[in-house]
Amino acid sequence: MIPMFQELLLQNERKIILMILDGLGDLPDPDKTALELAKTPQLDKIARKSGFGMTVPVATGITPGSGPSHLALFGYDPIEHAIGRGVLEALGIDMEVGEKDLAIRANFATIENGIITDRRAGRISTTECARLCKKLGAAITRVQDIPVEIKPAKEHRFVVKFIGADLNENLTDADPQKDNHAPVYSKAKNPSAAHTAEVVNSFIKKAAEVLKDEEKANFILMRGYSRNPNLQPMAERYGLRAVAIATYPMYRGLARLVGMKVVKTGDEVSDQVATLREHYVQYDFFFVHIKGTDKAGEDGDQQQKVKCIEQFDTVIGDVVTLKPDVLCITADHSTPAKLHAHSWHPNPFLLYSPYVFPEKKRFTERHCAVGMLGRLHAMEVMPLLLSHALKLKKYGA
């Protein structure tokens, strides 16, 4: 973002819809990508009037997680503003992290005769995890007068949050990293974290005391100490009334971190479009997050990925009837079915606006790679959306 960016902001009634098909980008497998295989009559109609390009989420060759890839799309430098593991884990279970909170990823573990024999406590069930968190939460409500919240995640994982105390995140992990080692406690990486080290180590000891009669989960490990990155809210950064329509907690959380309103919606893409229609008057920026494509990619199921895209195609016509001034359809990162994982490949990027050169082609990776919008850094997306919505004044006379 250029330094005087905010002085260029202009208020108007124009509306921007950013639809993220998570992990949309694919590889030919064997010959075609999911976008190339999918039958998408509605999307094709929109694509013919749209400009194409490709976005690089973080840097060439770098595979991003959901945190950095979304931050970049929202226009926040994903390298400057790292979102810590504890915060991401908290967001993933719909736990808010306030400005002065400290969020921590924790594991239940097994200790025998002073040696941690299983760092995952035999991968106890999520139900068992919930019971243990409840037990811990009932026994420990404060540590050194700081309120603490404990919330279960999957299997042996849970999240601990120290509330409002401005604790310091510069601690070493309280985790021996390998089985059959003695427990380690957190150490302050600098003097100002000394108090926090005391607090968290005291919490670990209290927890061990509460859990001492449990068969497997009689100890805890803590790591990924992190704080809310305190990002400038989108309203301030862009002058936008922004709203997120996302079903998965992590994306709702990421949207909250940049100050978006997060509204209730249903599980289906059609529910999300209904929610979009319902809130269309109150907001001027809409972030719609669709998870299915990424999930299918991670499962290595290209057919399912194709299905998700075709399902998206059944609702995209409805979105266009809202007459958005700018409609952007893209991805946060690629998740090629062939790789069963996120990848470093740039994202296909579609921009529907009266101020683009229509490509008159289908929306595919190959057509986007030679599109007139060129290759963009994901951080350039917000300025581009704002300019197409005529929300940016001229720089200099």
* Closest to a copy of itself by CB, 90 or 143: 90
Size of site (CB under 8 A) for a copy of itself: 61
The H or E element that residue 15 is part of is none
**Binding flag, residue 233, a copy of itself (CB under 8 A):** no
**Binding flag, residue 383, a copy of itself (CB under 8 A):** yes
The DSSP 8-state label assigned to residue 219 in this structure reads E
What is the maximum alpha-carbon separation in the chain? Answer: 75
Which of 23, 78, 152, 183 is in the footprint of a copy of itself by CB under 8 A? Answer: 78
- Quote the CA–CA distance of 281 and 219 in Å, as a whole number: 51
Backbone angles phi, psi at 175, to 5 degrees: -160, 120
**Binding flag, residue 297, a copy of itself (CB under 8 A):** no
Strand 285-290, strand 242-246: pairing: parallel
* Closest to a copy of itself by CB, 236 or 357: 357
* Closest to a copy of itself by CB, 297 or 346: 346
First to last CA, the chain: 19
- Quote the CA–CA distance of 258 and 204 in Å, as a whole number: 32
Of the listed pieces 39-47, 190-198, 293-301, 388-396, which binds a copy of itself according to CB under 8 A? 388-396
**Binding flag, residue 113, a copy of itself (CB under 8 A):** no
Strand 242-246, strand 261-262: pairing: parallel
- Quote the CA–CA distance of 226 and 218 in Å, as a whole number: 25
Asked if 286 contacts 17 with a C-beta cutoff of 8 angstroms, the reply is: yes
**Binding flag, residue 258, a copy of itself (CB under 8 A):** no
Which of 41, 79, 164, 303 is in the footprint of a copy of itself by CB under 8 A? Answer: 79
* Closest to a copy of itself by CB, 118 or 365: 365
**Binding flag, residue 362, a copy of itself (CB under 8 A):** no
List the one residue out of 194, 203, 187, 190 whose CA is nearest residue 167. Answer: 194
Backbone angles phi, psi at 152, to 5 degrees: -75, 150
Of the listed pieces 163-171, 234-242, 265-273, 385-393, which binds a copy of itself according to CB under 8 A? 385-393
**Binding flag, residue 365, a copy of itself (CB under 8 A):** yes
Which of 40, 66, 247, 302 is in the footprint of a copy of itself by CB under 8 A? Answer: 66
**Binding flag, residue 65, a copy of itself (CB under 8 A):** yes
- Quote the CA–CA distance of 12 and 287 in Å, as a whole number: 18
Residues in contact with a copy of itself by the rule CB under 8 A: 2-4, 8, 27-28, 54, 58-69, 78-79, 82-83, 85, 88-89, 336, 338-339, 341-346, 354-358, 365-366, 369-370, 372, 374-376, 380, 382-387, 392-397
